[in-house]
Amino acid sequence: MSDKNPSNKDPISGAPGAHPAGVGAGAAAGAAAGAAIGSMAGPVGTVLGGAAGAVAGGLAGKGAAERVNPTAEDSYWRENYTKTPGYKSGYTYDDYAPAYRTGYTGWERAKASGESWDSHEPKLRSEYERSKGSSRLAWEEAKGAARAGWDRVERAIPGDADRDGK
């Protein structure tokens, strides 16, 4: 795999850490919230509120996406997946990748809502089941890798964001 943009630079500004998924998710959520608030002022308020919310949400989403660099995480786990506790011989990185991704992307969403691993784990399981693709791992087998992805991101951020002692 060739990494032509290892720091996820914004294609317009060149600033590191921009991730289109984070910006897009934030913009969509902000637009919905802004439109809902603006609807109290009628149709024009709905349009203006949606536009303002999309901008604010996009910026917030960009900020959240800048914390986790999915390219760097994928590269790290591709090189280290066999060292994860619970690794099962005979399985490939492609079997484990969806679990790591579920963990490190799930950490961002959980942090935003103030949830710990334990309270967020049912959502992580659902997300993994939807996105595992051709992975041969069931959630119970993949859960350790998802937790490793979660913990790696959490350790990179100062403090104990989800207050689980890790």
Q: What percent of the chain has pLDDT over 90?
A: 45
> Residue 133 pLDDT more than 70?
yes
Tens-digit pLDDT profile for residues 47-101: 666 666 666 555 555 454 457 899 999 999 999 999 988 899 999 999 999 999 9
Domain ranges of the chain: 20-67, 70-156
- Residue 49: name the closest of 24, 32, 61, 27 by CA: 32
Q: What is the pTM of this model?
A: 0.59
Name the average pLDDT for the chain.
77
Q: What is the pLDDT of residue 65?
A: 47
**Residue 161 — very low, low, confident or very high, per pLDDT cuts 50/70/90?**
low
Burial 30-61 (b: 16+ CB within 10 A, else e): bbebbbeebeeeeeeebeebbebbbebbbebb
